[in-house]
Amino acid sequence: MATETEFCADDSLRDHILVAVAKSVESEAQELHVTVSPRAMTAMGDLVLKYLEQMARDLETFAQHAGRKSVNMDDVLLTVRRNPSIAANLTSVLQELATTSKKNQADKLKKKQDVEEAPLEKPKRRKKDPDDVQPGNVKLKKKQDDVQVGKLRKGLEFDEGEELRKKFMTGVTEIDGGSRKLQGS
């Protein structure tokens, strides 16, 4: 294995990286109220490039070690295992990515369900209520709702429950489902 003093990347790629690094460094330096000399700028660009190439080799090794051909997020996290704060930072970013993608999928599914099953949607919402209720109150309300919905559903079909609900929903806000049902049933 020859230690490479030359870069693997060709000039155009190197330029792209230098530009990106320059932008990042400029914005960061502005916040800290310092200037950066051009020599230091190119040095940092080359540094990032070397770091990237070394990371590529590490990632490939990790993926091969796991028996994969495709580099995974776990491989990236393994690269920073020695620095717990970075690892924590990246895992939080990872979770954000995961939740946003899940949310998008969930929203799409919900929209489909809304269109297809409009009458059945309301009883389902009784339990979940993510949009209607404020976060502080969700848990308490959920338990109450679950108990009341259980009572309702024992004797009633969905349609019948829906009619009852329509009767009692006029003039009452949706959130007070628990107390209202006590009166109704």
The residue ranges that bind another protein (CB under 8 A) are 1, 8-13, 16-17, 20-21, 23-25, 27-29, 32-37, 39-40, 43-44, 47-49, 51-53, 55-57, 59-60, 63-64, 69-73, 75-77, 79-80, 82-83, 86, 89-90, 93-94, 97
Q: Give the Cα separation of 5 and 97 in Å (integer).
A: 36
Give the CB-side neighbour count of residue 172, counting CA atoms within 13 A: 15
Q: Which is nearer to another protein, 48 or 164 (CB)?
A: 48
Q: In the chain, what is the straight-line distance between the N-terminal and C-terminal CA atoms, in Å?
A: 79
Burial class (CB in 10 A: 0-12, 13-18, 19+), 67: exposed
Q: How far is the CB of 105 from another protein (least distance, A)?
A: 15
Q: Which is nearer to another protein, 28 or 176 (CB)?
A: 28
Kindly report the number of other CB atoms within 10 A of residue 167's CB atom.
9
Q: Which is nearer to another protein, 94 or 175 (CB)?
A: 94
